[in-house]
Chains A and B, each alone.
Chain A
Amino acid sequence: MTDVAVRAENLSKRFRLQRERRTAMKERFVRGKAPKAQEFWALRDASFEVPRGSMFGIIGHNGSGKSTALKVVAGIYRPTAGFVHVNGRMSALLELGAGFHPELTGRENIALNGSILGMSSKQIEQQTEEIIDFAGIADFIDSPVKTYSSGMYVRLGFAIAVKVDPEVLVIDEVIAVGDEDFQRKCFDFIADLRSRGSTVIIVSHALSIVSEMCDQAMWLDHGEVQEVGVARDVVDAYLKRVNEAEAAKIGLNSTQHFGLSRRGTGEILVTGIEYLDGDGRPTPFLVNGEACSIRMTYIARKEMSDVVFGLNFFNGSNINVAGATSAEQGHETVPVGAGMVEFTLDAMPLSPGNYSVSTAVVTRTRFIDLVDRQFDLTVRNGGTIPNGLVRLSGGWRRAEAELDPAVLEALGEPAEPTAEVGFASAPPAAAS
């Protein structure tokens, strides 16, 4: 066996883009053949090698050819030119529960989906109970999947997928939808596969995942490879390009930005928000419990004194979870021109999740600029899972005191631990 799990050489895929598809014969007869189809290359001359046991990320903006590349590697599309060679049993996870039949029960769908993913009937038989356990839907396993909630559907699909045990896994990050807990399960699964020596190819928008988990990455733009190499370098190069493009765009229309969500007199306009990690490097999201900065860029059209900057964080339920203003550090005078303000935190207190951020620029007497919930912030889990909406950081101290032995006796023995005690999650809710 070679040490290369997947080798692609000059891989290209051309699609014919038709404004209308004449799949009905009448149209072909009556109106002739469809107008000459426009052609475009979704993937052009991509060459890469994925060493056995490594993890390979594919990044790029929407429509850059990432998914096409993945589908060609997975064998779903045939390449127009070039070839891809896969060494080992391959499995593709582009959608969870693809091929579930709504009328069949969960148990019957395990057999069908397992076999679609390439498991033998013996394997399926042995693992059915484990799959049901892992999905946590034992009560519903003999009901048709059409009655499942979308969460149950995805959990069952995932539970089957993790039992496939491929040597090469091709995976689309979009399968990691759902709550944080489920996302963590997905990434645990990938980490587990890797520790067993499997090769993973992943398409992802989460750049941190690519730079942290992947050994190598490929950056695609309009179907063409921009860079292939060490994941961290590729991600940095990609981020640099994205930030440049973004800065150019904002510089041009910053004043028209945000429409109705923007209020205030407008002497100073916030033009954007950037997130930086503890080392001051731009990052697409922040990590709970880790040092970070939030940078607001602005343009001042008039010199203003007594200025205070503020940030407000709203969670998915639109609850104002936290806020911060620069008032504590005193008011400032801001000269005409562009600039930025940075708010630095030693430890990100917000719990993992998605937030909307509002920015505010005010003086004692007026609202200069308020942009209401127009910026997105994703906070990812970093190690421990805090309870509640924010993580409280403080010091802990313990001391001992005198105790009358009679009190201890009166209290009796502590209770035996039972299975119910602990932080077990509630059973899944039934589908409506």
Chain B
Amino acid sequence: MSSITRSTRGNPWMYRGLIWNFARRDLKARFRGTFLGWLWSLMLPLATLLIYSAVFSIIFRAVPPPFGNGEPGIYVIWLLVGIVTYSFFGNGVTLAMPSLLSAGNLLQKIYIPSYVPVMGTAIAASTQSLVEYGILLVVLIVVGNVGLTWLLFPFLLLMFFIFTLSVSIILSVLNVYARDLQQITGVVIQLLFFLSPILYPLDQVPEEWNGIPIRAVMAANPVAEYIVAFRNLLYDLALPSGKNMLALTAWTVGAALLAWFVYLRKGQDIGEAV
């Protein structure tokens, strides 16, 4: 019956109700005071996708690989898989990172494990990306590119969520002690956009540039690995390569372990550090 012991402190399942309430708070508060309210959570992703489609089908035209069903590929759809995946990570980290600082007053008054507000915000942030994935799936169904590999999509998404959440926990805890981290992360996330095969496939990148193995560097970043895997499942209707799956698992497990370590080392004294 003892309420605060080491074992319950580090058990997110104990706090699932609270995490869910934090997520609901973020979702409700985001569009509060707007005329359209909840509609915005559908309209914002739609608008983002439309902007990218317009810009890249007029200005930046590349030849996409063919669909998995054998039809000629459509560049915009190929692009969208990359963009949605990238923004799942980018938005998640950007929104969840300041969540500990903004929950500071609360953490000084009531004991809750510091990962709780981060998880709540991460869940709220990823719902927008879920809507984006939903729109993407609808588009793919419309063009008739559907396959059995879609069955693996929820598992890949769950893994991606755990990876994004782990990075968010690491950064939000460290951000309390070194607040520039938020600015640096903003820049790094922007850089990731161009270091990932979003606009162009990896094989268009020169293998070596001034002695730097640039293609290998790009391919090694975790967001790039996830983009490749999501494209395989949704667009190419193929299974990701074993090497790719191994890399994803390593990144995700590594990030989760590091998040756990950072939480144990630094995340338990947030109440006095904020």
Contacts and interface: CB of A to CB of B under 8 A. Distances in A.
A303 B259 CA distance: 78
Contact of B271 (A25, A76, A120): A76
B108 A104 contact: no
A15 B178 CA distance: 19
B11 interface: no
B243 interface: no
Interface stretch (A80-88, A267-275, A314-322, A340-348): A80-88
Contact of B272 (A77, A88, A90, A118): A77
B2 A87 contact: yes
Residue of A28, A86, A104, A116 with most partner-chain B CB within 10 A: A116
Contact of A28 (B25, B28, B178, B271): B178
B1 A115 contact: no
A92 B24 CA distance: 23
B187 interface: no
Interface in B1-57: 1-4, 17-18, 21-22, 24-25, 28-29, 32-33
Contact of B21 (A24, A26, A74, A112): A112
A117 interface: yes
Given A24-B180, A26-B180, A121-B17, A101 B25 contact: yes
A76 B21 contact: no
A71 to B, nearest CB: 7
B12 to A, nearest CB: 14
A98 B178 contact: no
Interface string B109-123: 111100000000000
B106 interface: yes
A88 B106 contact: no
A87 B33 contact: no
A116 B18 contact: yes
A99 interface: yes
B154 to A, nearest CB: 25
Interface string B166-182: 00000000001111110
Interface string A264-307: 00000000000000000000000000000000000000000000
Contacts of A263: none
A78 B1 contact: no
B180 A116 contact: no
B178 A25 contact: yes
Contacts of A26: 180
Contacts of B269: 77-78
A86 B108 CA distance: 19
Given A23-B177, A77-B271, A116-B18, A86 B3 contact: yes
A230 interface: no
B4 A99 contact: no
Given A23-B177, A24-B179, A112 B25 contact: yes
Contacts of A104: 25, 28-29, 32
B228 interface: no
B180 A25 contact: yes
Interface string B243-274: 00000000000000000000000001101100
A235 to B, nearest CB: 27
A116 B3 contact: no
B106 A116 contact: yes
Given A90-B3, A111-B21, A115-B18, A98 B109 contact: yes
Contact of A23 (B3, B106, B178): B178
A176 interface: no
A142 interface: no
B162 to A, nearest CB: 23
Given A76-B271, A116-B18, A23 B179 contact: yes
Residue of B1, B2, B25 with most partner-chain A CB within 10 A: B25
A99 B176 CA distance: 18
A78 B265 CA distance: 12
B105 interface: yes
Nearest to A108: B28
B107 interface: yes
A386 interface: no
Contacts of A167: 1
A94 interface: yes
Contacts of B32: 103-104, 144
A115 B111 contact: no
Contacts of A92: 109-111
Contacts of A78: 268-269
Nearest to A94: B109
Given A24-B178, A121-B17, A76 B109 contact: yes
Contacts of A23: 176-179
Contacts of B110: 74, 76, 92, 94, 98-99, 116-117
Interface in A94-133: 94-95, 98-99, 101, 103-104, 108, 111-112, 115-118, 120-121
Interface in A149-179: 167-168
Given A76-B109, A88-B1, 15 more contacts: A24-B178, A26-B180, A76-B110, A77-B272, A78-B268, A88-B3, A99-B103, A103-B33, A104-B25, A111-B21, A112-B24, A116-B18, A117-B110, A121-B17, A167-B1
19 contacts: A23-B178, A25-B180, A25-B181, A26-B180, A75-B111, A87-B1, A89-B1, A89-B3, A92-B109, A99-B105, A99-B109, A103-B32, A103-B33, A104-B29, A111-B24, A115-B21, A117-B110, A120-B17, A121-B17
The list of the 9 closest CB pairs from A to B, nearest first, reads: A75-B111, A98-B109, A25-B180, A99-B106, A115-B21, A75-B4, A103-B32, A103-B29, A76-B271
Interface of B: 1-4, 17-18, 21-22, 24-25, 28-29, 32-33, 103, 105-112, 176-181, 268-269, 271-272
